[in-house]
Amino acid sequence: MTGLPLCIGFIPLVDAAALIVAVDKGFAAAEGLDITLVREVSWSNVRDKLNIGLFDAAHLLAPVAIASSLGLGHVKVPIVAPFNLGLNGNAITVSPALHAAIMGEIDGNPYDPMVTALALSRVVAARRTSGAEPLTFGMTFPFSTHNYQLRFWMAAGGVDPDEDVRMVVLPPPYMVESLANGHVDAFCVGAPWNSVAVDLGVGHILHFVSDILVRAAEKVLAVRQTWSEKNPAVLAALIRAHVRAAEFIEDPQNRAEAAQILARSDRLDVAADVIKRTLDGRLKISPDGTMRESGRYLLVGREGAARPDPLQAAWLYTQMVRWGQASVTPEALAIAKSVLRPDLYDAAVGSDRAAVKGGSDAIGAFAGPVFDANDIAGHLAAFKIRRGKS
């Protein structure tokens, strides 16, 4: 290993935990790495600085890594992701007014995403009839899990995300203020910003993303493919440091310390108790104090979450096709799947560790057929609302 200093960008989100803890607890230094973390506001900044080499690695949305490798929406820069920083972790938060409207139309269990999606469709129809403005939903980036998760949910209830509502891009740290100011009626974002909205009394968490998808790749540790090929020993050391950090975070006895590390002003700059609730999967979902617990809210390392899964990349690529961002080709699917690199993870941690891969590889979507990565066109044909070309 060369021991060269590394510059890594991140967005202030709880799913940057393994990256931040790897540096601040000394796991990276123990691997001979000298890492400087740079806090950014927007995903476009992170992507661009990674692509042009200002960052050696980055905390990155999994779909952005795929889009960059395919040359969608920007220049084509092949990216590889040898470590998952998190599975799940997003939530859909709505304004008090929209929450009341949806609850007024609920027919069934309010934690069932199909029930709320159908209620949303009735709210949208009533607004259209009354001449009200369309609802506005915030998400973090066009090539984002948040975009696809919002669309998947509302489309299941018959709401066309391109025709019936407005979808706008907002950086994660600006979501809460935008909801408070009435600029958006709802948003999908990662922790801690959903909890911040609830604590301020300006939002209700309607769904955890784990209600919509059992297992959803969220953020990855991303590097340029050329960099990975030139620095294999450094990359392996980086993976090992992150594995140790993820194990530290997933030990309940360490959660309070991890939350304090993440709470620092140069990291997330959010109260440690809010971060700890996220790591514990115990969130306040309403300003009235209603709590909800889920062991699947955010997976940092347990259940094999840290090991990249090409099936997840295939699902994300399929969403790009569904919403008109990409066309179905075998070549593009192969490129998408090649972004998530379990082989690099396995080589870094050793065969004994790699053999324990953890939980199911299923996507586990609440609606539609079981995902088949070998028949994307056939899979998408089952969905009435879509933009993609077969």
pTM check: above 0.85: yes
- Backbone CA torsion sign across 181, 187, 190, 196: positive
Q: Which of 160-169, 176-185, 342-351 has the lowest mean pLDDT?
A: 342-351
- 38 forms beta bridges with 9
> What value does the mean pLDDT take over residues 6-31?
97
pLDDT for residue 63: 98
pLDDT above 90 (res 7): yes
Angle CA(124)–CA(128)–CA(131) in degrees, nearest 5? 135
With cut-offs at 50, 70 and 90, classify the pLDDT of residue 360: very low
pLDDT attached to residue 1: 47
Higher pLDDT, 388 or 37: 37
Cα distance between residue 36 and residue 6, in whole Å: 6
Please write the tens of the pLDDT for every residue from 188-228.
999 999 999 999 999 999 999 999 999 999 999 999 999 99
What domains appear along the chain, each with residue ranges and CATH number? 5-87+216-270+300-380 (3.40.190.10), 90-212 (3.40.190.10)
Collect all residues with Cβ–Cβ distance below 8 Å to 55 and sequence separation of at least 6: 7, 8, 9, 38, 46, 49
pLDDT digit string, tens, across residues 134-152: 999 999 999 999 999 999 9
**What is the average pLDDT score of the chain?**
95
On the question of pLDDT at 361 being above 70, the answer is no
Residue-level pLDDT at 255: 98
pLDDT of 351 reads 66
Contact criterion met (CB below 8 Å) for 167 and 150: yes
Residue 355 pLDDT greater than 90, yes or no: no
- Average pLDDT, stretch 334-339? 98
Res. 362 pLDDT band, cuts 50 70 90: confident
